[in-house]
Amino acid sequence: MPARKKWTAHELLILLNMYHKMRFGQMHERNPAIVTLAKKLERTPGSVAMKLCNLASLDPALKLRGIKGLTGASKLDELMWEDFHAQLDVFVPASEEALRDLLKVRDDAEVEIEPKKGIHIVKAPPNGPTEVTANVQVRRGQEYFRNAVLNNFGGRCGITRLGVRELLIASHIMPWGTHTGDRLNVRNGLCLSRLHDAAFDRGLITFDDELRLVLSKRLKAELPQVCIEDNFMKHEGETLLLPEDAVLPDAVFLASHRTSIFVAS
């Protein structure tokens, strides 16, 4: 029997990127995204799925939900996990570039990961007329964060269940500009519709310790507008909707949003 092919640090960098764009229940050999990735890596879908489940055993966010991965993580797995999460601002863009190189993606395109549908290469949205093109490292980080957050929420708005991907935003709980260390942390993200993202960003809505939607008095003052009633009031007190195997938003981040951004009065 031939010796098993050892995983390299470069391959693990790509797998760590894919890991955070999938939920634990999607890490199986029949997943279209895993099948495509395995072919590019010249490995079997089963070996890729197993390695992803090995990485899951190192994930503290899954442990909080009582989810355990496979117990075969190697020393290199552990080292790559620690380095990746200790320096997200460095390793996330590098992992995104490594994935793009593997898939031979052009500079004017983006990689879209939809675990149930597979890996898609899509044309990058055009920049606005006054927007300064971000450097490559920032763009790659933004692409990663959007995929990871949307997929963690099952590709649906956590408030309304809207599932049109083009109308969804990967919202930062702690602002991008002031919390650089958590810019690319999946637990710092919420999947919201464009309308609810704007409301959250401006402190018109927030979530309590039980992840229930809280509306500001400022927003309620606009009642009885039908739009406010349909898009906000009907969801007040409802729990943020996430799949059972999703990682939860960080409670500390949400508490900070309530005290520093939410417009209580």
Residue 134 pLDDT grade (very low, low, confident, very high; cuts 50, 70, 90): low
For residue 127, the model assigns a pLDDT of: 53
Assigned token pair, 81: 């996990």
For residue 170, the model assigns a pLDDT of: 97
- Note the pLDDT tens digit of each residue in 205-219: 999 999 999 999 999
For residue 252, the model assigns a pLDDT of: 95
pLDDT > 70 in the chain, percent: 95
Residue 197 pLDDT grade (very low, low, confident, very high; cuts 50, 70, 90): very high
Assigned token pair, 71: 């117990």
pTM value?
Answer: 0.88
Residue 162 pLDDT grade (very low, low, confident, very high; cuts 50, 70, 90): very high
Please give the Cα distance from 213 to 209 (Å, whole number).
Answer: 10
Non-local (6+) Cβ contacts of 215 within 8 A are: 204, 205, 232, 233, 236
Q: Residue 92 pLDDT > 70, yes or no?
A: yes
For residue 116, the model assigns a pLDDT of: 83
Please give the Cα distance from 257 to 237 (Å, whole number).
Answer: 17
Q: Residue 30 pLDDT > 90, yes or no?
A: yes
Q: Residue 153 pLDDT > 80, yes or no?
A: yes
Residue spans of the domains in the chain: they are 1-127, 153-265
For residue 161, the model assigns a pLDDT of: 96
Q: How far, in whole angstroms, is CA 234 from its chain's centroid?
A: 27
CB 188 within 8 A of CB 177: no
Query: What is the phi/psi pair of residue 138, to 5°?
Result: -65, -45
- Residue 164 three-state SS: coil
Mean pLDDT for 21-40 is: 96
Residue count of the chain, please give it: 265
For residue 168, the model assigns a pLDDT of: 97
pLDDT > 90 in the chain, percent: 82
Tell me the pLDDT of the chain averaged across its residues: 92
Q: Residue 47 pLDDT > 70, yes or no?
A: yes
Mean pLDDT for 66-84 is: 95
Mean pLDDT for 69-94 is: 95
Kindly give the residue spans of alpha helices, DSSP state H, lying in the chain: 9-19, 32-41, 45-56, 60-63, 75-86, 88-103, 136-152, 194-201, 217-220, 226-231, 251-260
Please give the Cα distance from 196 to 204 (Å, whole number).
Answer: 9
Please give the Cα distance from 69 to 60 (Å, whole number).
Answer: 11
CA-to-CA separations, 124 to 112, 121, 127, 134, 194, in angstroms, rounded: 10, 9, 9, 13, 18
Residue 1 pLDDT grade (very low, low, confident, very high; cuts 50, 70, 90): very low
Rg (the chain; Cα; Å): 19
For residue 216, the model assigns a pLDDT of: 94
Q: Residue 11 pLDDT > 50, yes or no?
A: yes
For the chain, the straight-line distance linking the first and the last C-alpha, in angstroms and rounded, comes to 70
